[in-house]
Structure 1
Amino acid sequence: MRSALIAAGRKLFVDKGFAATGTPEIVAAAGVTRGALYHHFADKEALFAAVIRAEAEAIAGQIESSGTPDLSPAEALIQGGEAFLSAMRQPGRARLMLIEAPAALPPDTLAEIDAATGGRTLEEGLRAAGVAEPAVLAALLSSAYDRAALAIDRGDPPQPWHEALRRLVTGLLP
């Protein structure tokens, strides 16, 4: 039932946005009662946070599975960035993660989700590469990757974004 609510919520949040999606639509799409929704989630925002957490975990999983043990830290960072951009091409994901989530969820919630998923992997990669201030650089680099994902989702040619991000990453490394 919880997974049905998350799946139905995801589809509706992608199609209509968080603000325009009502709980009656969600429960109808999931084939459950309103009581079931409130048994699993305190409110629509809690369901949306679960959708965003599931998306963030899927993205982090794709990033983590993209690497191989024989990569240098620099190569691992670049490959992880490429995996992020690939993961963000899933239909609706850029809208959910980069437009709807910042508009609907408190910054603390987003920071906690990021720290447990993609933000953690990026910071670990920067730390392994020996950069100073890996947490600060992870936040800045994450913003650059998010901007690229939005541009690519909007229809920009991906190659210039990929190349610029590679130059950015290699320029940060000692």
Structure 2
Amino acid sequence: MERPGVRARQREQTRRTLLREAERLFAERGYAAVGLAELVSAAGVTKGALYHHFPGGKADLFRAVLAEVQRQVGDRVAAAAEARTDAWEQLVAGCEEFLAAATAPGTERVMLVDGPAVLGWAEWRAMDEAASARHLGEALTALVEAGRIAPQPVAPLVHLLSGAMNEAALWLASAASGPEDLAATTAALRRMLRALRAD
């Protein structure tokens, strides 16, 4: 007789496989171009298994993929920030890493293009805020409290910086930009951030 722990591990393995294959396909071709049959075939599971883990089907699976991609980007941003000891340099390093991570092949399509298109602006914005804007707000609040940024409401800064970085990431990932533009955009971001400094 199969033990409950074995079944739980098998279910989790099925879920992880679905997420991995869906992330790969959505990143390569985009949400609209990937069908349900292709998703279950790539993962080697049945449609019933997919609906067991993601009752809303393809849209629920995409939502989970987006959350995973946002987590991966967040991990990269946190690692870049934590490699610095100065709070200001942590902010700058985190913002720069966001641009690099968000423009990685496939990430931009899932996170910035298909995310708001598939889930709608309000849900995508809520996920984005939970994944990254909250951390940006915490970093800016700490810098205001330390006197490194002039006293001011933090929420407008969070939305302005988050919007600017998302837009820059979309442009960097588009055909309109070239390989040299990441460095130029990063330099522009540094100048924009420097203007916030009070010291």
Aligned mates of 1:51, 1:133 — CA distance in 2: 33
- Residue 13 of structure 2 corresponds to residue 13 of structure 1: no
Q: Give deviations 1:51-98, integer Å, cap 9, x for gaps.
A: 0100101111111111246213x2221110111122124321111111
Instruction: Report the 3-state secondary structure (helix = DSSP H, G, I; strand = E; otherwise coil) of the residue aligned with 2:33.
Output: coil
Q: 1:133 Cα shift?
A: 2.4
Aligned residue number for residue 159 of structure 2: 139
Aligned residue number for residue 40 of structure 1: 53
Is 125-134 or 93-102 further displaced after alignment?
125-134
Identity over aligned pairs, percent: 36
Aligned mates of 2:114, 2:158 — CA distance in 1: 22
Aligned mates of 1:58, 1:16 — CA distance in 2: 20
Is 132-141 or 160-169 further displaced after alignment?
132-141
Aligned residue number for residue 117 of structure 1: 131
Aligned residue number for residue 70 of structure 1: 85
Is 93-102 or 13-22 further displaced after alignment?
13-22
Contact 2:103–2:170 (Cα < 8 Å) also in 1: no
State the structure with more CA Rg.
2
Q: What residue ranges of structure 1 are gaps of 5+ in the alignment?
A: none
Aligned residue number for residue 164 of structure 1: 188
Aligned mates of 2:197, 2:119 — CA distance in 1: 33
TM-score, normalized by length of structure 2?
0.80
- Residue 17 of structure 2 corresponds to residue 4 of structure 1: yes
The alignment of Structure 1 onto Structure 2 pairs a total of residues equal to: 173
Displaced runs of 4+ in structure 1, greater than 4 A?
none
Q: 1:173 Cα shift?
A: 3.5
TM-score, normalized by length of structure 1?
0.91
Q: What is the aligned counterpart of 1:25 among 38, 53, 78?
A: 38
- The residue identity in structure 2 corresponding to 1:144 is A
Q: 1:18 Cα shift?
A: 1.2
Q: Which has the higher contact order (CA 8 A, sep 6+)?
A: 1
Q: 1:2 Cα shift?
A: 0.8
Aligned residue number for residue 107 of structure 1: 121
Aligned mates of 1:46, 1:136 — CA distance in 2: 31
Q: Give deviations 1:108-144, integer Å, cap 9, x for gaps.
A: 3223322322111111111111152222221211111
